Chains A and B, each alone.
Chain A
Amino acid sequence: MITFKLNGQTVQGEEGQFIIQVAEKYGVAIPTLCHHKALEPAGMCRLCTVELFDGRRTRFVTSCNYPIWEGMEVNTDTEAVHQGRKLIVEMLLARCPDVPILKKLAEQYKIEETRFEKENEGCILCGLCVRMCERMGNSAINFAGRGLDLRIDTPFHIQSDVCMACGACAFVCPTGYITLDKIKEEFSKKNPTPIPSEYDVGLQGRKPVYVPYAQAVPNTPAIDSSVCMHYKTGGCQICTSFCGVDAIDHTMQDEIVELNVGSIILAPGFEPFDPSKFDSYGYAKHPNVISAMEFERILSASGPTMGHLVRASDHKEPKKIAWFQCVGSRDLNKCDNSYCSSVCCMYAIKEAVIAKEHSSEDLDCAIFYMDMRTHGKDFERFYNNAKDKHNVRFVRSRVHTIDPVAGSDDLEIRYVTEQGEIVEEKFDLIVLSVGLQTSAEVFELAQKLGLDTTEGKFCDTSTFNPVSSSKEGIFVCGAFQGPKDIPQSVVDSSAAAAAAGEMLNSARNTMTRTREAIPETNVFNERPRIGVFVCNCGINIGGVVDVPAVRDYAATLPYVEYVADNMYSCSQDTQDAMSRIIRDKNLNRVVVAACTPKTHEPLFQETLINAGLNKYLFEMANIRNHDSWVHKNNPDLATKKAKDLVRMSVSKVGLMEPLQESELDVNPAAMVIGGGVSGITTALSLARQGHETHIVEKDSWLGGQAWNLYRTSKGENVQAELKRLIDQADADKNIHIHLDAELKEVEGFVGNFKSTLSVKGESRTLEHGVAVLATGASPLKTDEYGYGGDPRILSSLELDQKFIENDSMLDSVDSAVFIQCVGSREPDRPYCSRVCCTHSIDSALHLKQLKPDAQIFILYRDIRTYGEREYLYKQAREAGIVFIRYSLENKPQVSIEKDSIKVITTDHVLGKTIELETDLLTLATAIVPNGDEKLSQFFKVPMNEDGFFVEKHAKLGPSEFATDGVYLCGMAHYPKPIDEAVAQSKAAASRALTLLSKDKIHTSGLIAEVKPQNCSACGVCVSVCPYSAPSFIPEDARMFPGRAQINPVLCKGCGLCVASCRSGAIHLKGFDNDQVFAQIFAMSEAG
C-alpha cells in the first residue's frame, strides 16, 4: 500500500497504480480524453494534468500515466491546474474547432474563442484508437507521417486486410472522428453491420457480450464466440477489466456431455417463414413491409421502439396498416408449405386490435385473408369484436403484389374484392403474417433420430398417440408436432411428460436425493435481533447509493444488532459468511438491502435455513432495481430512498413471525368423471403411473361420442382404436369403472376428496386426491334445414354411423350436400366447433371414394382445416368436390321434395342463386358441452357463457382448474378432434400427477388465518375468496360455531379476505396489517 495526499486528503493506492486510478477510487474526477481503463495509459491528450509536489518543488504531470509513490502530494483542483487544462483545451479546439466534446470542454473552461490559428481537423491524435486496435490483436492502424503530417492511418493509406471492421476504434474515439460509416466507406471490402439481436428479430443490434432479453433465465450475460474479437484475434479481453468478480473465462470450451436417459422429448419449436423469398411482396426491398414477428416487437413495450407504433423507414406513426395472411402457408406456388399454420389468423387480429390501442389517432387496420380461421377457444368472439367493436377491416382477397409509392415510403396494393371490383389502396405499413415451419436443423435432427416425418416436415404422430414419434421412447411436443398455438403446445408438453412418465414409471424416484434438514432455532418470545446486510452489487448499487452510509444508518435503527455491507451478497462465499454471522451473532431477523425479492428472496431464505432460522424471518429492501438503477443521476436522493427502504424493511421484519408450512397427506387415488376417449386416456395414463383411478360414467358403456365416429382425419379406424382403449381400461387393475353412475356429493379439497356416487340407485363413496373432469360434449339437436323431417337429412355423426354400418342407403346416393356451421358461429353460439370442416371434408372424400360419380357440394362460411388437415381440403377440391360459400345473413334454404332434397344457396363467385337437388344432406351441427351447473358447484370450477369449463389460464394452464386438485380435458374444455383430446387427457394426467406423486402437500406459510374470537360471521370472506378457502365452522362444532375458518391448503395468500374483513378477524401471515402499517409508519419517520 502506498499512502499519499490527494487534494489534502490522505489516500491509499496499490504499488504500480497511476494517480488517476486512485483518484477514481476516491471519487475525484479528473478530465481526460485519451484514457481507457483497460488500455495502457499514454498521456497523449494531456488533459489529465495535475499538480504534483514532491517535497521540494511543484510540477505538472499527467495523472493517467504517473505512478504513485509514498508521500507525494497531488492537487487536481488548483488554479494553476485549471489554467494549464484551459490552455490544452484551447489548443485542441484550435485544431478541431467543430468537435462537440471539445466545444463542451471549452464552455466549461470559459473559452469563448481560441487564440490560435484554426485548423479543420477532427482527430486530436490521442492514439486511443491505435492502442485499442493493438489490443484487439489487429494493429490495422497506427500513427503515420511526421511533425505536421502526423496522422492516424492504415499502412500506405490503403485498405488493409488486417482490419476486421470490428468498430472498436470508432467505439473509443473521443471526438467522434472515426465512425462506423467511415469504416464502411473506406473499407468497402468489409460491410460492418451491427450484430442483429435475435430477440428483436434483427430490428436492433446487440453486443457480443449480451443477455438475450431482460427477463432471460438465467439472467447472466453470455459471450457470443462467433463474433467476439478475442476468438478471432486472441486480443481484446477488455470485458475482463470491467468485471468486478473475475467471472469471465475466455478459455472455457464447449463440452460434450453424455446423458443416460430412458426417454427423449423433442420440443425444438418452429422457425417463422422467411418472406424475402417472395419477390412480389418486396420484403427485402421495402423497409415498411415487415413480418408479423417484427411487428410483435414493435408493439412490445420492451421492443426497439418501446411499444411506440412507428414504422421503420421514417419513424412516422402509421395511419393505415394492412396484414397479408397465409404468407408461407397454404401455398405451393412460391413455397413448399401447403399446410395451414393455424395461428396466423388469430395473431393478425390480435396485432390489429393492439395496434389500434397503441395508436394515438384513428388507425385503419385491414386484414387480407382467404379463410378466417379462428377455431380456438374464445377466438371467434375476439374476431367478432375486432370486426364490430374495433372496426378492423377484413377483406377476403389474396393480394399479389406490393408496389412502392414513388416519392414516399408508402406502399400501394391492388386487389380484387368479393364483388369482383379491382381496388387500389395505399398503406403506410404492410405486415406479412408469416407461417410456421420446421427449420432445416430440426429436420436434420429428426432424420438423424430416424423419425418419420409428414409431408410438411413435421414429426409424424398418430391420432391416438399424438405425442409419440415413430420411434419408441421418443416423444414430441409443440410446433414440431404440427403448427399450433401456445395453449395447444402447453397441452402437448404436459402430454409428452405423461407419455414419458408412463413408460418410465418403474424408474420413478430411483434417482432422487433427499436433503438433510437443518434444525430450526426457536425464536419464540425472543426480542428481535436484526441483522442488516447492505449489498453493493459491485458498482450496481455502490456506484450510486452511498452504501457505507446506508449501512451505518441501519445500525442506528431499533433492534438492529448487526450491520455489514457486501460486495456481492448473492455470491456463494458471502452466503456462507452470512449464515455464519447469523449463528455467531445470534440474529433472529434478517434484512438484505439489495436487488429484488422476486429473483433473490428464495436464495437468501436458503441462507436463513442454513443458519437454522425460519425462512420467513426475512425481508428484502429493493435498493437496486427500484433505486440505484433508476436514480443514477441523483445519488443523494437515491441514498435517502435506500435509507427509507431499509428502515421500512427493518420495521416490518421486527414483526415477522416464524411460519410453519403445514403438511397434509395426499390420497394417491384419482377420480375421472366421464368415460369417453378423454376420460379413458386420462385414467390409463394415471393407472400406468401407479395410481388407482375411478372412472365415473353416466351411461352403461364406455367410449362416449367416439362410438359415433367412423374414421379420423388421418384415416385411422376409430371403432377399432376405441375398442382397444376400452379393453386396456378393463384389463388394468388400477382402474375401477363405475357405469350408470351419477355424482351426488363432493366433500373435501385437494389431496383429500370424498365423493358420493349413485350407481343404479345404490350409493358408493370414493376417496381420492384429485378429480379430472372429462364430461365431453354432444352434437346440437337442431331443427334447422329440415333436420328430423326426412331420413335423407342427417347430422355428421349420423352419416358416420351409416359409414360404420355400410348402410345400403349410401349406394343410391348420386349427389350429396354438406352444410357447415349449423348452430356454430351464430349469435346464440358464437364459437367455432373446430372439427366440422375437417369432418365434412373427410366424409365427402369417403363418399366420393364409395361413389366416384356422385356430385358433392360443401356449403361453408370459412373452411377451417387448420394445420396439416389442409391437405384434405386440397385433396377434396382435386377430387371434384365443389365448395360454395354462404354468409350468415344469407343461409341456404332447404326444401324437402318427393324425389330429392332441394338446397338453394347463393354462389359467391358467380353472385347467382344456385339450386342443388340432392339425395343426401348432411348438417355439420355444432358441438355443445355436457358439463352441468351441479358439477361446476361440486368442484367450485367456473363455466363460460357457452357452457364450457374455464381453465386456470387460457394459455399456460389449459388442462387444469384454478381450484387445486381439479383437472380438465377433452371437449368439456372446448370442441376438439380426437388427437387433441387424447393429448389434453394425458396433459390432465400429467398435471394431476405433479400432485399425486407427492405423499404430502406443503402449504405456503404466507396464508390467511382467522381469529374466530373476533369474527362476526358476516360471511364476506366466504363470498369473496376465489379459491373457496374460507368456510363457516359447522353449527354443531364445540368451539366458535358459525364463525369463519380458512383452509390453509386452499388458501393462496392473496389477502383479499383480509382486506375485506370488517371485523379485522383475518390475518395474512407475512403481509399482516401490523407489518404493513409498520412499513407505512417507518416511511414517515425521517420526515
Chain B
Amino acid sequence: MSDWEPKIVCFFCNWCTYGAADLAGVGRMEHPANTRVIRLPCSGRVSPKFILAALREGADGVWVSGCHPGDCHYIEGNYYARRKFALMKDLLEHMGMDPGRVQFSWISSAESTKYVDVAKKVIESIKELGPNTFFNKTQAKVA
C-alpha cells in the first residue's frame, strides 16, 4: 500500500472555490493530483447523497467547499450547506465512518494560496486515514 494515493471527490461552488482552484492554476501553484472536481452552482446544491455516493463508489475522501459565510452568490445557500454538513458529520460518525473523510472549507475565488494550503491539508489528512474500505465488505473483513 506504500504507493497508494487517495482519490478525493471535490464538490466546489462555481463562484468561489472553483475559481480559487482556477486561480491556483494561473499562479502555477503545484499541489498533489489527488482531487477530482465536480463543479456545482453552490455549496447549497450539494446533497448529502452525493457525499455518500462518492464514498460508496470508492472515493477515499470528499471535499466540499463554498463561499465564505455571508458571501454566498445566492445569498444564503452556504448557510444551509453548513447546517446540512454539521448533521452529515454526525451521521457519518453514527455509521462508524471516520467523519474526517468528509471535509468542508470556505474559500473565496481570490484565495488561491488558501486553496492550495487547504488542498494539501485535506489530501494529507485523508492519506493518514488510509484507503476507504467502509463499503467494501470483503476487503473490510480481510483487513
Contacts and interface: CB of A to CB of B under 8 A. Distances in A.
Interface of A: 214-215, 300-302, 306-307, 596-599, 622, 624-627, 629-634, 637-638, 640-641, 644-645, 648, 962, 1006, 1024, 1026-1027, 1052-1056, 1058-1060, 1068, 1071, 1073, 1076-1077, 1079-1081, 1083-1084, 1087
A1071 B53 contact: no
B44 A1059 contact: yes
Contacts of A599: 22
Given A1026-B75, A1060-B80, A627 B33 contact: yes
25 contacts: A214-B112, A301-B114, A302-B113, A596-B25, A598-B19, A622-B39, A626-B21, A626-B25, A626-B37, A629-B26, A629-B28, A630-B31, A631-B33, A633-B30, A638-B33, A648-B36, A1026-B75, A1055-B77, A1059-B44, A1071-B45, A1076-B50, A1077-B50, A1080-B54, A1080-B57, A1087-B58
B123 to A, nearest CB: 12
Contacts of A648: 36, 38
B40 interface: yes
Contact of B57 (A638, A1056, A1081): A1081
A630 B25 contact: yes
A1055 B36 contact: no
A1084 B74 contact: no
Interface string B58-75: 110000000000000111
Contact of B47 (A632, A638, A1026, A1059): A1059
Contacts of A1068: 41, 45
A942 to B, nearest CB: 9
Contact of A1059 (B21, B25, B35, B46): B46
A207 B30 CA distance: 22
Given A214-B26, A1054-B41, A641 B74 contact: no
Per CB-CB distance, the 9 closest pairs between chain A and chain B, nearest first, are: A625-B25, A1055-B45, A1054-B74, A629-B25, A1084-B57, A1056-B44, A1026-B75, A637-B33, A625-B22
A1073 B37 CA distance: 16
Interface in B14-29: 14, 18-19, 21-29
Contact of A597 (B32, B39, B113): B39
**Max chain B CB contacts within 10 Å: which of A599, A640, A1052?**
A1052
Given A648-B36, A1054-B45, A1080-B38, A1026 B25 contact: no
B38 A1079 contact: yes
A1055 B47 CA distance: 9
A598 B45 contact: no
B118 interface: no
Contacts of B33: 627, 630-631, 634, 637-638, 640-641
B36 A1024 contact: no
Nearest to B76: A1026
B121 to A, nearest CB: 16
B49 interface: yes
Given A645-B36, A1084-B57, A301 B112 contact: yes
A227 B37 CA distance: 41
A298 to B, nearest CB: 13
Interface in B81-112: 84, 110-112
Contact of A1054 (B32, B37, B38, B44): B44
**Max chain B CB contacts within 10 Å: which of A307, A634, A1054?**
A1054
B33 to A, nearest CB: 4
Nearest to B74: A1054
A1027 B111 CA distance: 28
Contacts of B24: 625, 630
A598 to B, nearest CB: 6
A962 B23 CA distance: 27
A440 B33 CA distance: 51
Contacts of B126: none
Given A596-B22, A1076-B40, A1084-B57, A962 B31 contact: no
Contact of B53 (A214, A301, A629, A1077): A1077
A306 B28 CA distance: 13
B53 A625 contact: no
A1076 B53 CA distance: 10
Interface residues of B, number: 51
Contacts of B112: 214, 301-302
A627 B116 CA distance: 13
Contacts, number: 149
Given A306-B113, A631-B30, A1073 B23 contact: no
Given A598-B19, A1071-B45, 16 more contacts: A214-B27, A625-B23, A629-B25, A631-B30, A645-B37, A962-B75, A1026-B74, A1026-B75, A1052-B74, A1055-B40, A1055-B77, A1056-B80, A1059-B44, A1059-B47, A1076-B40, A1080-B59
A632 B30 contact: yes
Given A301-B112, A1026-B76, A632 B28 contact: yes
Contacts of A1059: 44-47, 80, 84
Nearest to A1054: B74
Contacts of B122: none
Nearest to A1056: B44
Contact of B22 (A626, A640, A1026): A626
A1083 B28 contact: no
Contacts of A640: 33
A1026 B114 CA distance: 29
B41 A625 contact: no
A1076 B22 contact: no
B41 A1006 contact: yes
A634 B21 CA distance: 18
A717 B46 CA distance: 58
Contact of A215 (B14, B23, B39, B77): B23
**Max chain A CB contacts within 10 Å: which of B18, B75, B114?**
B75
Contacts of B35: 626
A622 B54 CA distance: 20
Nearest to B55: A1080
A304 to B, nearest CB: 12
B45 A1056 contact: yes
A648 B10 CA distance: 13
B30 A1083 contact: no
A599 B114 CA distance: 21
A597 B47 CA distance: 22
Given A625-B22, A1084-B58, A630 B28 contact: yes
Contacts of B113: 301-302, 306-307
Nearest to A634: B33
A1084 B74 CA distance: 31
A1055 B57 contact: no
A1084 B59 contact: yes
A1068 B41 CA distance: 10
A640 B23 CA distance: 22
A1083 B53 CA distance: 11
Nearest to A1024: B80
A1083 B7 contact: yes
Contacts of B40: 1055, 1071, 1076
A1076 B42 contact: no
B26 A1056 contact: no
**Max chain B CB contacts within 10 Å: which of A638, A640, A1060, A1083?**
A1083
B77 A301 contact: no
Contacts of A1056: 42, 44-45, 74, 77, 80
A1054 B14 CA distance: 10
Contacts of B39: 597, 622
A624 B25 contact: yes
B31 A1076 contact: no
Given A598-B14, A1080-B9, A630 B29 contact: yes
Contacts of A962: 75
**Max chain A CB contacts within 10 Å: which of B27, B29, B36, B73?**
B36
**Max chain A CB contacts within 10 Å: which of B21, B28, B74, B116?**
B74
Contacts of A598: 14, 18-19, 22
A1030 to B, nearest CB: 14
